[in-house]
Amino acid sequence: MDCFQTNDIDELTGLKSLTYFQNNARKWIRNRLLNGNRVTVFYVNICGFRSYNRMYGFQAGNALLRRLANVLKIEFDGALLARNMADHFIGAVTNEDVQERFEKIHENMHLLQHNTTLELITGLYEVKDASETDNPDSVSVFLDNAFAAMKFIYDKPGVNTYWFDERLKSEAELKNYVIEHVDEAVEKGWIKTYYQPCVNICTGKLLQYEALARWDDPAYGLLAPDKFIPYLENAYEVYKIDFAVLENACRDIQEIMKKKLDPVPISFNLSRTDFEAADVIDQIVEISDKYHVPRYLLHAEITESAMNGDTEIMKKAIKRLHEIGCEVWMDDFGSGYSSLNTLKDYPFDVIKMDMVFLRNFDKKSEDIISSMTQMNKKLGFKTLVEGVETKEQMKALKDIGCDIAQGYLFSKPLPLCHGDGSIDNICSL
Ligand code: C2E
Ligand code: CA
Ligand code: CA
């Protein structure tokens, strides 16, 4: 008979705790595989649970979690089932028809809830061979894989279950590679800075460049930011990239100044996690001083989502950035949960409107950009619109009275040195 310590059990649902799962799943899975069973690890998340809690209260939320736990127990008799956290459930099961069973649960969601649009999404990972459990960390790997499969369908309405597949496998491999090699990439100069121009809409003249990261990897080739930034953000390590990009840019600006040319400012990206993981201000001061770059040439871009965290930290950071002489630009405004309060609370110099507004550019998007631009003006911010691809869009933005444009119409991001070795890219046009 099993003898459980209290922390082996999740009190709310009666399922096992995450700790128990982590300590015992490897042996459990190995034994089942050696006995000829098919073993699948799953990761279930209830989409919309937070709003459900808010709408119906915690008691109702807890009752829902207990109902789901019971459904899992009935459907997967004899399985190793646990609650990871909040509305995330995990498990190892031996059923051959695991996907069908989850689909049945999804179809019967009305049994779990009343009058809501809650959905379950489930990621599945099949452990094919007992040798996969040789690694002492194998349970974390299985859970990561099932989680990746769950996350893959997050933004795919109508898809409720997904198996971890080759594509997700190579993404997972890249993620591990990036996290393991970020220090080497910075040290060996694999992190490159590409520049994309921002143009004064009124005059059509170059105003500044945005510095954007590329990872030029000896094995994987040139990696775009979406192949490494999100993983490093999650690992709180993206500051390493951000400072490498800034350092490259400052080195480039110094080269231009040495040639007695006139550099234009550059903006560089900072992630929310930078402010938690590193001393951002000290780093900017150190890097800019090292290359004798005046700080009025440096504009820090901070995403709107960064403002959702600790407001005091961000307020202090923006104040300090201004004190050391950098402008502060808000990036991607309108892409997430925009809060107009953000505009009230933080003294930005420029608001960068996310390119979503230009994707299906119609009268409505024009009206939104127009209203935003008027409001920014009143608040003392300039408005930059990202993702400008056509002359028509440029004309509309000019008529609206936006200040700055950025997009493929002018140039995609490019490295500084062209084939002829010239460095005209970052000087005034
Ligand atoms: P972002 O900061 O919003 O940068 C703009 C992205 O939009 C760039 O993609 C750029 O190539 C792309 N873009 C520019 N104009 C157009 C256009 O007209 N049409 C379309 N479809 N796209 C356009 P990129 O360089 O791939 O960067 C993607 C994102 O990665 C950036 O979005 C930023 O969030 C992140 N990122 C890039 N470099 C860094 C970095 O050094 N640090 C941090 N923390 N994030 C970075
Ligand atoms: Ca940016
Ligand atoms: Ca942006």
Comparing 36-45, 242-251, 342-351, 388-397, which segment has the lowest mean pLDDT? Answer: 342-351
376 Cα: distance to centroid of ligand 1 (angstroms): 23
């034994």: which residue's tokens? 31
CA 331 to centroid of ligand 3, rounded, Å = 5
Q: Which amino acid is at 278?
A: A
Whether 423 shows a pLDDT value over 50: the answer reads no
Q: What are phi and psi of 269, to 5 degrees?
A: -95, 135
Q: What's the 408 CA to ligand 1 centre distance in angstroms?
A: 11
Lowest mean pLDDT among 61-65, 148-152, 155-159, 285-289: 155-159
89-132: per-residue pLDDT in tens? Answer: 999 999 999 999 999 998 877 777 766 678 899 999 999 999 99
Residue 315 CA to ligand 3 center (angstroms) comes to 20
Residue 406, both tokens:
């950025």
What is the spatial distance between Cα 357 and Cα 100, in angstroms, rounded to a whole number? 40
* pLDDT tens figures, 325-377: 999 999 999 887 667 888 888 899 999 999 999 998 889 999 999 999 999 99
For residue 238, the ligand closest to its alpha carbon is 1
pTM for this prediction: 0.84
Confidence of residue 180 (pLDDT cuts 50, 70, 90): very high
Q: Which atom of ligand 1 is nearest to the CA of 238?
A: 44
The angle that helices 391-400 and 363-379 make with each other, rounded to 10 degrees, is: 40
pLDDT score of 405 more than 50: yes
Q: To the nearest whole number, what is the mean pLDDT of the chain?
A: 92
Residues with CB under 5 A from ligand 2 (ion): 269, 301, 331
* pLDDT over 90 (residue 256): yes
Q: How far is CA 350 from CA 227, 229, 301, 374, 401, in A?
A: 28, 23, 9, 13, 14
> In the chain, what percentage of residues exceed pLDDT 90?
80
Alpha helices in 76-116 (DSSP H): 98-107
How many CA atoms lie within 13 Å of 112's alpha carbon, on the beta-carbon side? 25
Residues 6+ positions from 52 with CB-CB distance below 8 Å: 46, 60, 61, 64, 113, 116, 118
Q: How many CB atoms lie within 10 A of CB 130?
A: 15
Find all residues with CB under 8 Å of 168, minimum gap 6, and list them. 145, 148, 149, 152
Q: What is the pLDDT of residue 185?
A: 98
270 CA to middle of ligand 3, Å?
11
Rounded to an integer, the average pLDDT of 16-31 is 97
Q: Which atom of ligand 1 is nearest to the CA of 406?
A: 15
Nearest ligand to the CA atom of 212: 1
**Which atom of ligand 1 lies closest to the CA of 212?**
38
Which has the closest alpha carbon to 245: 51, 415, 35, 74? 415
Q: Which atom of ligand 1 is nearest to the CA of 270?
A: 44
Using alpha carbons, select from 134, 138, 13, 158 the residue that is nearest to residue 73.
Answer: 13
Give yes or no for a contact between 358 and 379, defined as CB atoms under 8 angstroms apart: no
Q: Residue 419 — pLDDT band, cuts 50, 70, 90?
A: very low
Distance separating alpha carbons of residues 270 and 258, to the nearest angstrom: 27
Query: Which is the closest atom of ligand 1 to the Cα of 388?
Result: 18
**CA separation for the pair 371, 384 (Å, rounded):** 13
328 residue type, one letter: V
Overall size of the chain counted in residues: 429
Residue 277 CB neighbour total at 10 angstroms: 16
Six-digit token pair at 50? 């937070």
First to last CA, the chain: 79
Whether residue 357 contacts residue 396, with contact meaning beta carbons closer than 8 Å, is answered with no
What pLDDT is attached to residue 402? 97
CB atoms inside a 10 Å sphere around CB 366: 17
Q: Are 169 and 151 in contact (CB under 8 A)?
A: no
DSSP string, 79-90: -EEEEEETTEEE
What H or E segment, with its residue span, contains residue 196?
Answer: strand 191-200
CB 123 within 8 A of CB 152: yes
User: CB count, 10 Å around CB of 365?
Assistant: 17
Give residue 115's pLDDT: 63
Residue nearest to atom 23 of ligand 1 (CA): 387
Please state the atom number of ligand 1 nearest to the C-alpha of residue 194.
25
Which ligand is closest in space to the CA of residue 353? 3
Mutate to test the pocket of ligand 1, among 269, 283, 351, 409 (most ligand atoms within 8 A of CB): 269
Assess whether pLDDT exceeds 70 at residue 380: yes
CA 212 to ligand 1 center in whole angstroms: 6
Residues with CB under 6 A from ligand 1: 196, 212-213, 224-225, 229, 238, 241-242, 245, 269, 271, 331-332, 355, 386-389, 406-408, 412-413
**DSSP string of 349-391, one letter each residue:** SEEEE-THHHHT--HHHHHHHHHHHHHHHHHT-EEEEE---SH
Q: Which residue among 182, 190, 191, 212 is best mutated to probe the pocket of ligand 1, counting the most ligand atoms within 8 A of its Cβ?
A: 212
For 4-19, the pLDDT digits (tens) are 556 899 999 999 999 9
The mean pLDDT of 26-36, rounded to a whole number, is: 98
Rounded Cα–Cα distance for residues 115 and 185 (Å): 51
* pLDDT for res 289: 98
